[in-house]
Amino acid sequence: MSNALAIAAVTAALKDVVDRHLDGLDLSAIGSVGVSAMPLDRVLTGDNEPNQINLFLYQVSANSGWRNCGQPARDGAGQRTANPPLALDLHYLLTAFGNQELGRDALLGLGMQALHETPMLDRARLRQVLAPPATPFGAFSAESLADQVEWLKITPQFLSAEELSKLWTAAQARFRASMSYHVSVVLIQSEAAVRAALPVLRRGPDDRGPRALAASPPRLRAIDNLSLPGLRGGRLGDLLRLQADGAGADSELVFEHARTGLRQSLPLVADGPRRWQVQLPAADAPGVVSVWAPGLHTLRLRNNVPGQPVVVGEPLPWMLAPLLAVTPLNAAANVDVALSIACRPRLLPAQDAGVRVLFGGQELPADSVDTPADASLPSTLSVTVPAALAGAGAYPVALRVDGVDSLPVTLVGGLPQFDPQQVVELA
């Protein structure tokens, strides 16, 4: 396949075709004749109009035969899996210029004859024209155009008077008799490395082919938080209840962080017909802080029945709110208040810039975010509450991470109340 210089390379090859055709002719009666590839408004016209044959690329269009060729360039993770070609057709306008009577007509005929006798740009001609250092490419090589799988075909196009009028009007140039040509197909393709799949060694166990399942994949219908009923999302340590179809004793709930792809799986415990419970690990359990992340997650059910293919259901969005430890809980009012907030699970580096502290409903940016190298320690945020917002009263403190707010509430007698460990008293 050719590279990004292919369009300019085709123009250079067409110029060469016309130029070589004129070299074998005695044009002394007309005078010196040049071959150019300029926009129409850049060609000199008038009393001093030179003898010139000009090739103007006036349109680039998609090639209908190749435009849908190839696989998608990237997979769901954004990794490059293929380099589909950019397939183009080029449209040129061949125009003759000159200040002699009948000279322009003669040059137009000569240019048309050159392209008529060269219906294709063969590989040998392209290599001869484009071999480095070739103008205007210099040290950059466009020679790969000769190696593309399709040959370049030159076909005349007979434009109507209306089409020619619109074209010359758009070019803002003086009209001259012209002929249009269609060059197809130019295939521009990247040479970037792609991710290739390994060969298939066996088609299922013992090479007996894939197993087919008649049942539909498991489906999540609803997720309820039993630790904080009525509130969306959850926190580490909460107990969830699922309403699901198609789940079983070998199923598990897969948590995938929407932004980073961190993935964790937890087993299901039966809780009645089509109902299951899932216990989130405690925030202080070993290793938990470093493998979970606050923010938006997608939840899927996955069936791992022995001897059968793994079946994964459709995703359902769910929010994991961070757990906070706020210090100090008591401070003087009407002065700047410096707060320190410990966050579990730990914040990811990509979340630091967007994290916000909610102080009594007022959003404040964090002064600093410190996530220690020790994976067992939480992230610590420092924030200064200005005196103008620090009047006497009780202020619940929450943290907003990727649009997900922490839950500064607890259950007292079965009813939700603000958690005193996340409320700052100013007096």
Contacts of residue 161, defined as CB under 8 A and 6 or more positions apart, other chains included, come to none
| Cβ atoms of residues 99 and 52 within 8 Å | no
Q: What is the pLDDT of residues 146-194, one digit of tens each?
A: 888 889 999 999 999 999 999 999 999 999 999 999 999 999 988 888 8
Give the model's confidence band at 251: pLDDT under 50 very low, under 70 low, under 90 confident, else very high. very high
Helix axes 103-116, 6-23, angle to 10 degrees: 120
pLDDT at 92 over 80: yes
- Tens digits of per-residue pLDDT, 406-425? 988 888 888 889 999 999 99
How many percent of the chain have pLDDT more than 70? 98
Query: CA 210 to CA 202: how far, in whole Å?
Result: 10
pLDDT reading at 118 higher than 70: yes
Residue whose token pair is 């909610």 = 358
**N- to C-terminal Cα separation, the chain:** 75
In this model, does residue 215 exceed pLDDT 80? no
* Residue 134: predicted pLDDT: 63
pLDDT at 61 over 70: yes
Give the domains, in start order, of the chain with CATH numbers.
6-188 (no CATH), 219-320 (2.60.40.10), 323-426 (2.60.40.10)
Average pLDDT over residues 67-79: 77
**Residue 58 and residue 92 in contact, taking contact as beta carbons nearer than 8 Å:** yes
